[in-house]
Structure 1
Amino acid sequence: MENLPFINNIGTMFEPTGYAKANRHIISEWIQHGVRVRYTPIHHEVVRVPLGNEQESLLNSLVYTPLPERHLSFFHYPAAYFTRRDSSYCIGMTMFECSRIPITWSKRCNMMDEIWVPSEFNRVTFIKSGVLPHKIRVMPYGVDTSMFTPGKAPLSIPGQRSYSFLSVCSFDGRKGIDTLVSAFLEEFTASEDVCLIIKTRASSEDEIAVQQKYIEQIASSIGVQDIAHVILLSSVQSWTEEELAALYNSANCYVLPTRGEGWSLTVMEAMATGLPVITTNWSAHLDFLNETNGYMISVQGFVHASSNNPRLLWAIPNKNHLKQLIRYVYTHPNEAAMKAQAGRQTITQRYSWKHSAANMLHRLLEISR
């Protein structure tokens, strides 16, 4: 491994985001293979995920690693922050959830020597948006298959019922919270032994109250009074990976009517845990999810993701089809278990972080030669 370049890793490492989670797993794997890394935070990370003492100490120490003159720059963050800081070979790893990417992103991507995206979906959308095709390489993300695995002790959740649908997501329009809650409340009454658990984050206790109020407003708009079977797990504090693994092991099915994904780590974590997955039949997760190993919500059209940019479109997941699927999975547990087994096999055989980091390391060796 003496031909490996020194990596200046620029991004985030400790935040409760997909970018930071992917970054710390990839960097940790590279270090195990002898890659020398300096970590340059792109901003101060205020909210941090609890890590083990050894891992946190190792990753923190990378900030103080001296940067040699000859190195490779690896930006791992939204492309809006890409920049050339020196004459080093620059790789930018990023993703986007819409049918195209913003023009500013395209320009910054073309400033890099290479662009790594996790999905075929993003390779296509980036090229459509003007990123030079020869710069783009698909480098899939992975999952910690030793952490997210069936059979771990489940989390104790107050109010949980015998059958639980689970969604782990940010509380925003892209994740389809409105579609998810209304579909569930229209399909399952409070008298049935079924619940929906929504795990999300908040910046304050006030924001948690706003999230709960939003769920109540959705229920009120469709004439539902009793929402005891919708459980909001929202917290200001970040959860550990162990707590998340226990949460997945508490559920019977994972559901996410997303409007668009750049990859979808939570879907992958659910699959690795052996849960049947229901999600939208559009965007990046189609690289690893299909009708043979999951349940795909049909798309009824597309909508502008931003009023400021009509080029950017999101999918509209079909709510009626979602209602059919959650009822079907609930009433066909044997078939759902078979699909879940196929999904877990897909992840463990092809999409561990070891697979992901090794694929990237192969390219780094090519560059160093």
Structure 2
Amino acid sequence: MLGAQKTQKGTTAKMIYITLPVGSYHGWGVCGKYLVKELSQITEVLLITEHIDPASIGDDTAYKLLKEKAVSVEEYQRIKNISEHRLDGPALHAIIGNTMKSNLPNIRGTKNIGYTFFEESIIPASYIENGRRFFDIIVTGSSWCEEVLRGYGINNVATIIQGIDPDLFNPASPAKEHFTDRFVIFSGGKFELRKGQDIVIKAFKHMQDKYPDVILVNSWFNHWNESLLTMKASPHIEFDIYSNDYTSLINETLVKNGIDMQRVIVLPPYPNILMAEAYRNSDIGLFPNRCEGGTNLVLMEYMACGKPVLASFNTGHKDVLNKKNSILIEDMEPISIYDDDKEIASWFEPSLDETIAKLEWAYQNRSILPQIGNIAGQDMAKATWRKTAQDFYHVLVS
């Protein structure tokens, strides 16, 4: 039976119910994994999610914890298929995109908190009504998302940003062990128009043609073909689905856009717990994103390793970037995003010229980069998943 449990001291702990997905290969999954882990250090937690695949977690210890905290597959299916399931404690729901609807809308806690990251900033009235009707509080992953919702008249909203795992991502040893005689540019995030890898490719093409010692390391795996196809709208590169194999697709895209593959490392999909080594063995992270509904977890983990970033100063990035901890791309034009003929969002187009100019500056001033990275590491050390969980706990039980 779902309900409160006794703690080791014999007092009754308030059970918190969580419907977030869990995993290690995409942002939502990482978020869910760490919130379950950290909230369970504060109070009793029950995870209501679909089958937890050990391969998707990539960490035996985390998998064991998640299985212990989760309902069984049979119980999940039972809950999912009934019209309404009442809980005796507060519930933290994942919100699907900008729909303001829970991923398990039939679950009702004594208090219902929704967590959302969205980039489609033009929100239909019916979606806004979902948020008003279903949630006591909507928590956004960035101040930008909060501002969008407040603009639509939703006032029961607050921002709690994602965190980093300081045991994995820290500036203890930020110096490179490999490619010490090269200038290594790292680019991460799923390959799509929003993440701006087309700008990365164009900027790197300029650098490779001018300097013989530059290398691009990319981690661009994308699970979702629909978002992958958005890159066909790029103003900077030629793109199509040349292959269903990820590595072949990225290689073909780079070749078609003039990139020397002798100077590129295409990383396969790794769980986030294995990415720190790639971050530390680069000189700068390049993140010219057009929009972030969250704070860009890859960017945060990269900075936490004491590494400097060159990144667009827009939307969710503004919650974690400043002129001391990063090199900012500030020249941007607002752009409208369409789905067929329907406008769905307003994003920002980072200047390619400014991106190249500041990448050139970083190349010529690489002795200064560790100073920027050191400040980045100090700032991100304050933004842990433990703090994120504590912030959620106060919202859930207050």
TM-score (norm 1): 0.86
CA distance in 2, matches of 1:32, 1:286: 30
> How much has 1:91 moved relative to structure 2?
0.6
Shift of 1:25: 0.9
Q: Work out whether 1:316 is the aligned partner of 2:316.
A: no
Q: 2:185 aligns with which of 140, 165, 168?
A: 165
Deviations 1:324-355 (A, max 9, x none): 1111111112332222111111111x311122
Residue 191 and residue 123 in structure 1: after superposition, are their counterparts in 2 closer, same or farther (change >3 A)? closer
Any residues of structure 2 matched to 1:70-81 within 5 Å, and which?
Answer: 70-79=88-97, 80=99, 81=101
> Is residue 2:232 matched to residue 1:193?
no
Question: 3-state DSSP class of the match of 2:186?
Answer: strand
Aligned to 1:140: 161
Q: Which amino acid aligns with 1:316?
A: E
Mapped contact 2:90–2:110 kept (Cα < 8 A): yes
- Please give the alpha-carbon distance, in whole angstroms, between the structure 2 residues aligned to 1:176 and 1:160: 27
Could you give the per-residue CA deviations for residues 108-163 of structure 1, whole angstroms, max 9, x where no partner exists? 322211101122111101222x2511x10111211112211235599998x99622
- State the partner residue of 1:49: 56
Q: Is the 8 A contact 1:4 1:364 kept in 2?
A: no
Q: 1:90 aligns with which of 112, 125, 131?
A: 112
- Please report how far the alpha carbon of residue 15 of structure 1 lies from its aligned counterpart in structure 2 after TM superposition: 5.0
For the residue of structure 1 that corresponds to 2:92, the secondary structure is: strand
- Counterpart position of 2:234: none
Within-5 A mapping of 1:253-264: 253-262=284-293, 263-264=295-296
Aligned twin of 1:214: 253
Structure 1: 5+ residue stretches without partners: none
Offset, 1:364 = 2.6
The amino acid that maps onto 2:36 is I
2:369 aligns with one of 297, 313, 336: 336
Change in CA separation of 1:335 and 1:154 when aligned onto 2, cut-off 3 Å:
closer
**Alpha-carbon spacing, 1:102–1:285, altered in 2? closer, same or farther (3 Å):** farther
Q: Tell me the SS of whatever aligns to 1:116.
A: strand
Judged with a 3 Å threshold, the aligned counterparts in structure 2 of structure 1 residues 3 and 324 are, in CA distance, closer, same or farther, namely: farther
Q: What SS does structure 1 have at the residue aligned with 2:56? A: coil
- 1:39 equivalenced with 2:76 (yes/no): no
- Aligned pair 1:150/2:183, yes or no? no
How far is 1:55 from its partner? 2.0
Counting only pairs closer than 5 Å after superposition, residues 103-118 of structure 1 correspond to structure 2 as: 103=125, 105-110=127-132, 111-118=134-141
Query: Are 1:126 and 2:135 counterparts?
Result: no
Tell me, in whole angstroms, the C-alpha distance in 2 between the residues paired with 1:84 and 1:150.
Answer: 44
Paired residues of 2:121 and 2:345 also in contact (CA < 8 A): yes
113 and 85 in structure 1: CA distance in 2 versus 1, 3 angstrom threshold? same
Residues in 1 aligned to 2:344 and 2:87: alpha-carbon distance in whole angstroms: 41
Amino acid at match of 1:218: N
8 A contact 2:329–2:355 mirrored in 1: yes
RMSD: 2.8
Q: CA deviation at 1:208?
A: 2.6
Q: Deviations over 1:190-236 (max 9, x none)?
A: 751111111122559623322221222222xxxx6x34223322x3x
Mapped contact 1:259–1:316 kept (Cα < 8 A): yes
CA distance in 2, matches of 1:153, 1:243: 15
* Separation in structure 2 between the aligned mates of residue 273 and residue 363 of structure 1, nearest angstrom: 30
Q: Distance in 2 between matches of 1:211 and 1:149?
A: 29
2:119–2:345: 8 Å Cα contact kept in structure 1? no
Letter in 2 for 1:117: T
Deviation by residue 1:13-39 (Cα, 9 ceiling, x = unmatched): 125111110111111111112x21221
Q: CA deviation at 1:311?
A: 4.6
Q: Which moved more, 1:193-202 or 1:147-156?
A: 147-156
Deviation, 1:85, is 2.8
Distance 1:101 1:269, change over 3 A: farther
Q: Would you say the 8 A contact 1:15–1:48 is kept in 2?
A: no
Distance 2:200 2:309 in 1: 14
2:264 is aligned to 230
Measure the CA separation in 1 of the matches of 2:205 and 2:41.
47
Count of residues in correspondence between the two structures = 352
SS in 2 for 1:175: coil
Rounded to whole Å, the distance in 1 between the matches of 2:388 and 2:245 is 39
Q: Which runs of 5+ in 2 are unaligned?
A: 1-6, 76-84, 224-242
* Letter aligned with residue 166 of structure 2: T
- Contact 2:312-2:329 within 8 A present in 1 as well: yes
In structure 2, the CA distance between the partners of 1:251 and 1:336, relative to structure 1 (3 Å rule), is same
Kindly indicate whether the alpha-carbon contact (under 8 Å) linking 2:169 and 2:302 is maintained by their aligned counterparts in 1.
yes
Q: 2:314 aligns with which of 282, 286, 302?
A: 282
Q: What is the CA deviation profile of residues 155-195 of structure 1, one whole-angstrom value per residue up to 9, with x for unaligned ones?
A: 998x9962201011101111111111011112332751111
Distance across 2 between alignment mates of 1:320 and 1:306: 25
Residue 45 and residue 181 in structure 1: after superposition, are their counterparts in 2 closer, same or farther (change >3 A)? farther
- The 3-state SS of whatever aligns with 2:343 is coil
State the distance in 2 between where 1:216 and 1:104 align. 45
Contact 2:89 2:109 (8 Å CA) reproduced: no
